[in-house]
Amino acid sequence: MCLALPAEIVSIDKSREMAVVALGPIKKEISIALLDEVSVGDFVLVHVGFALHRLSPEEADRTLALMREAGENPETELAGGNAP
């Protein structure tokens, strides 16, 4: 399944318009070129390596909880795998 996943920005390289996001133990480098302004600690929706939208920590938590209730593993999805 191809989803936009909430993840927290843990570092930013503004010169490259890239950031590292974390979801549980999984970290991934993504593009932040589509967003005007992001900061370390912000939550963003990540889809195919791009941050699409900022969201609140509460919205991120609700989304991740719903995904887990539906049987999805958001950490595996962020890592790019399909394992349960």
- Number of domains making up the chain: 1
Residue 52 within a domain: yes
Residue 48 within a domain: yes
Range of the domain at 10: 5-79
pTM, full prediction = 0.85
What are the contacts of 39-42 at 24+ separation with CB within 8 A?
39/9, 39/12, 40/9, 40/10, 40/11, 40/12, 41/8, 41/9, 42/8, 42/9
Residue 43 within a domain: yes
State pLDDT tens for residues 23-39: 989 999 999 999 999 99
Residue 75 within a domain: yes
Query: What was the pLDDT predicted at 54?
Result: 97
CATH number assigned to the domain comprising residue 55: 2.30.30.140
Residue 84 within a domain: no
